[in-house]
Every structure is written in C-alpha cells, then in structure tokens.
Amino acid sequence: MAPSKLNSNDDASVSSSQPESGFFNSISLLNSEKAVQELIQQNPVMGSDDHLREFSEALRTVAKALRRSAEGKAAAQAEAAEWKRKFELESKRNLNLECKGLSLREPHSDGKKTETIACQSTDRIEQCCGNNGICSHEVLRDGATNSDFKMVNDKYTRKASFKLSWCCKGEQSDQHQHDIVSFEKGNITTAERSSKQISLKWESDPQTVLILTKPNSTSVKLMCSEMVRWLKHRRMNIYVEPRVQTELLTESTDFNYVHSWKDDSEITLLHKKVDLVVTLGGDGTVLWAASMFKGPVPPVVPFSLGSLGFMTRFYSETYKETLDAILKGPINITLRHRLICHVIRDAAKTEYETEEPILVLNEVTIDRGISSYLTYLECYCDNSFLTSVQGDGLILSTTSGSTAYSLAAGGSMVHPQVPGILFTPICPHSLSFRPLIMPEHVTIRVQVPFNSRSHAWASFDGKGRKELGPGDALVISMAPWPVPTACLIDSTTDFFRSIHEGLHWNLRKAQSFDGPRDT
C-alpha cells in the first residue's frame, strides 16, 4: 500500500498549478518530501531483505534532494514575483508616457541614460518590429535607481534582454537586412563591416577579361592593343567594346580572337562571363564601366591614363607586373557604393510606378538648368520632411563621389568605404544650409513642388539628364551592388595618396622657427 501512496502524492505534485513566473510550485515539492518520510516510517527495514534496505536508502536520498530543491525553488519564485511586479509597473509607466507622445528616459546610477522605444499596442509592435524591427520593449537597467527598483535578496536587478536587427521596407524596397549588430549580456557590439579592408582571393583562375578604354586617345589605343596581345599570350578570353573591336581589326586581322557584343541584351549578361574588368583611362572610364553593369560588378582594375585619378591608382607602364599579381591574387579591393535612382512622375498612380532605375557611382545632381529662377525642391528622408532647397541645386553623392562635384560645392571628403549618402546643396540662398552625411540605409525623396516657378533637371554621373516638372520626384537609396576596385596598396593608403597628389590637400609652406636656439 505504501508504493500506491507515493504514486498518489507524485500525481498530486505533478498536477499542481505552476505560477506565472514559470517556476515549479515549491509547495508540491514539500508535499512530496512528506510523502517520502511517511513511506519510510511505514516500511520498517528488515535485516534480511537487502532490496528493501536499498529502497529505503534511495528514498532518504530522494527526500534530501526534494528538500534542497524546494528551498531553491521557493527563493527563485519569490525573485520572479518581484521581477514581474517591477515589469508591470514599468509597462504602465511606459504606456502613460506614450499616450503623451514622449520617450521614456530614466537615469542610471552612473549618470547614463537609456532610451526605450515602446509601442502602444500589440498591432503596433508587430508593425514596428516584426522580424526586422529595431526596438526594445523592455527596460534596460544597470542597478537600483528609485523605489520601483529596489534590491532583491541583496542583489541588484539585472539588465533586460532585447533584440536588434535592421529594418526592411517591404519586398519591393532596395534596402536589405544586414546582421552586423549583436547583443550579449547587456552589451551592444557591432560585427565586422564593409568599412574594413577587404581582400579578394580567387578560388579558381580567372579566364575572361573585359577591357574598356577612353575614346579618341592615341596613347590608349596603343596601350590597348599591346595589352590584348599580352593577355592572349596568357591564354585569356578577351572582351572589348564593339568600337574597340573595330579599331583592332582595322589595325590587324590577327585580332580576330577578341570578343564583343551586338546589342544591349548581351551587356546584361556580361557579369556572368567576365571575371575581371580592366579600364584604360581616367575616372570617367571607371564611371562608364560601372554604368554598364546594372547589377553585380566584377572586380575592376583601373589604369591611370587620365588627369586626376582618384580611382585609377595603377600605372600603365607596369601593367604586366600588375596584372600578373592580380590574376594570381590575393588582392586588396575597395567596395565603392553606388546609388540607385528612381524617377517618379506626377502621373504615376503608385510610388512603384517608376521609370527604369539608374545607378550612379559618383553623384546625382538636381539643378535649375537654363532657368534664371532658383531651384525649389522639397526633400524627405524616410518619408519625414527634411528641408526645402532654394538655390542652384542639390547634390546627392556617394562617398566615392565626395571628391568630385560635392567637393567643389563645399562638401566633405569621405573615405570611399564609409557607407553613407552625402547631401550637399549647390549655392543655397541661406547662410545656415550646411552639407549633411546620411547613413547608408535611408531613402531620400526629392520632389519639385507644384508652386515651383520652373522645372528642375537631374543628371546622373554627369550624363543622362532628365527633366523634372512640378509633382515629379526623384527617389535615391543605396544600391545593393557596389563596385569592387582593386587597390594599389590598400583602400586607406590609396585614398590619402589620391587627395595628396590630385588635390595637394593641406599643403603650405612650413612656419619658420623663431624661438630660442641652443648655443
């Protein structure tokens, strides 16, 4: 009969309710311990029955374990109840502040502040966060600060956990999720980003090279034909533009092994055929190479045959050694971000009814054209009104284009691997209109208002001008396909060399020494 009594007590223990904190009820553990003690008393151990003696010792061990477990569970249950009470108090406080349109800021014991973004309802939480929201619905605490956060069992309360991830703006958005933020034990850290030096290592030998040249240059033609012969000796497949193919065949019929394309549909497939792109010219040739690829771009090796050469760091005199090292690998590359631009006409029914998107490597410029009136533009950042532009125009630039038109208009020079969008006005009729640098994930909308006196004109990397009438808008965001360009040394050294050699940045005569001299 004793075993049946133990089973009945166990069933009662298992069926007992659990508290909302998630801990097992300690009262049921105490009842189980009493059942074991009664079982031991009701079953005297006989010296001749070894199995009964072993069973009795096992029951005593179980009784001790149940007693320790009951004590631990009781303490944990008390702590959980205290945590629940604090959470309910803070939830009510957050809800009251949200109704007033405020964000809760509470001081820590060390003087720091933590901002909590809370949503007013469950629907809003799902809309704000979902799977990709950047939102913490729990309070981050370092220690006891007021009467609502007292010490529990002589221990300070711990930080609440939360999740960080990047927002995505729908399936049709060009923004993508980037898992670069992590949270562990109350500390936020960032993982490695694209701003760090990137090395490219070939997993298989490159076989196909596309050569793009600056037109109307005799020195470039000679360099191109010489490089084509050398690459053919290396058993490489060579693609050139139709114009260059005609020039090579006119020079000699021996160049019949050089490939080209006939229409634009074949250009869209180049990134699947070409392993490497070689440009012979200046920065304009690199811009032309980038504009040919509407999606992924193969690594670009730019040789300097132009003037400034912010992007063309390789010297044409040593092209053999350079290409040998690049084809062998590994090589350092710079990921040059591009902007994707959509023109939305006033007659469009939805914001997704746009013209063909345009990718730019340097900048998109919106100016007044030949009109004598000031350009009047309304600018929005992620659907929030940013400012109105009244002046000659506006430049939206990548960090690679920070040393181009944006620099001439007063914008900052930015390292090309810094992911961001430069917002630079052109001759604004305002003394306080300073340039801005936006983060990479924002979407900027520039619209010509209906009360504008004239139209505006948009140009993309200095070409392809489009007229923007009242009601028309231009939407700009970061494109997901950067342009990887090979580095002579590394991205930082190449950048500093370009601004020193191309712009003579911060060069002046050294000051004379007029202080005391040692005798």
Active site residues per annotation: 283
- Measured between alpha carbons, how far is residue 167 from residues 135, 136, 401, 505 in Å? 10, 13, 27, 39
Q: What is the DSSP letter of 190?
A: E
| CA 326 – CA 294 distance, rounded (Å) | 24
| CA 390 – CA 435 distance, rounded (Å) | 14
Which H or E element spans position 93? Answer: helix 50-99
| CA 168 – CA 165 distance, rounded (Å) | 9
- 3-state DSSP assignment of residue 301: strand
- Burial string for 111-140 (b: 16+ CB within 10 Å, else e) reads eeeeebebbeeeeeeeebbeeebebbbbbb
> Exposed/middle/buried for 301, CB within 10 Å: 0-12, 13-18, 19+?
buried
> Exposed/middle/buried for 49, CB within 10 Å: 0-12, 13-18, 19+?
exposed
First-to-final CA distance of the chain: 111
| CA 369 – CA 377 distance, rounded (Å) | 14
Half-sphere exposure of 285 (CA within 13 A, CB side): 29
| CA 278 – CA 304 distance, rounded (Å) | 11
- 3-state DSSP assignment of residue 385: strand
> Exposed/middle/buried for 309, CB within 10 Å: 0-12, 13-18, 19+?
buried
Q: How do strand 456-460 and strand 463-468 relate by DSSP bridges?
A: antiparallel
| CA 348 – CA 172 distance, rounded (Å) | 16
